[in-house]
Amino acid sequence: MTINNSPALSDLEVWRKKPFRFIAAPFTPMFPDGSVHAEKIPAYHELLVANRIAGAFINGSTGEGVSMTLEEKKLVTRAWANASKKNQDLKIINLVGGNSLHECIELAQYSRQQGIDAISVLPPFYFKPVNVKQLARFVAEIGSAVPELPVYYYHIPVLTDVGFSMIDFLPEIEKLLPNFVGIKYTHEDFMDYLSCIHFADGKYDMLWGRDENLLPALSLGAKGTVGSTYNYAAPLYHMLYDAFIKNDLHKARQAQQQAINMIRLLGKYEGISTGKAFMKLIGVDCGTFRLPVKNMNPEDFECFKKDAEAVGFFDFCSALSHKVA
């Protein structure tokens, strides 16, 4: 991203004005011993571009950022930044937030040095902020250390247990952080979400974060979405969006139901780690998740493949541009 003193003039602002953006939350590839396999990231980058994905939200929940060391997150950041130099159409948003304010600032500054397009900040989830003013102070402290970078807040109360209404947060952060640009909204409060879309005449980029509820979010005016299933089922969501903008709600609802059927397999097979099993089905072996997440055993994986086929996964899964080793 072009560095300047006005985030509103950045190329990310142009990107934000596109009709709609699908942003994948990539898995972090791991070796069998659980170490980061960063050499797979360039091919992963090509996979997303080939499937018309507009951005990558790295080091997030799907990417196991909270389970990695600061140096490992820097390794992942560097690998995605280097891959994006060859194709800058895929914007990179790096999750730098966590419990350590100083580590958040260090990773934010490293993101700027590597040419990352934007950062995102989680709330501290051990010593939690007591109100939205304290939350805004925390986010602003990190964002002000990189005034050239656009900053998103990551709202995912199901994991952080920080559940303030974002319509109360926006007025506070607006006063403190000029380079604040929006929220990754991973929650089901549609009333709050719509109010945030309308806040300050639509000033902020409200990225929807629930793949299983994308259609209702579109009806409220969502212009972008971040999700893990866009890694391996992008064609299904493109079909959903195309049907929605053509006002073919029957087809859009059918596509959303197909997505729900697929996502239910995550609950059936060990939760978030099932995403890496889906990736394996399309030819991208990202290894396993770290403890305490449970991974599939080989017997369950064989059953999972049959269930994936039964929900039609191979009819709408993402396609590789080439074989990924």
Q: Give catalytic residues, as residue numbers.
A: 154, 184
Structure-token match 């607006």, residue found:
174
φ/ψ of 184, rounded to 5, equals -85, 110
Instruction: Give the relative orientation of helices 166-176 and 190-198 as an angle to the nearest 10 degrees.
Output: 30
Contacts of 13 (CB under 8 A, 6+ apart): 7
**316, 235 Cβ separation under 8 angstroms:** yes
Task: State how far the Cα of 39 lies from the Cα of 53, in Å rounded to an integer.
Answer: 20
Name the residue among 203, 125, 187 with its Cα closest to residue 162: 125
Task: Map residue 205 onto helix, strand or coil.
Answer: strand
Nearest by Cα to 207 from 60, 49, 10: 60
Using an 8 Å Cβ cutoff, are 119 and 144 in contact?
no
Three-class SS of residue 324? coil
Q: Is the dihedral of CA 58, 181, 318, 270 positive or negative?
A: positive
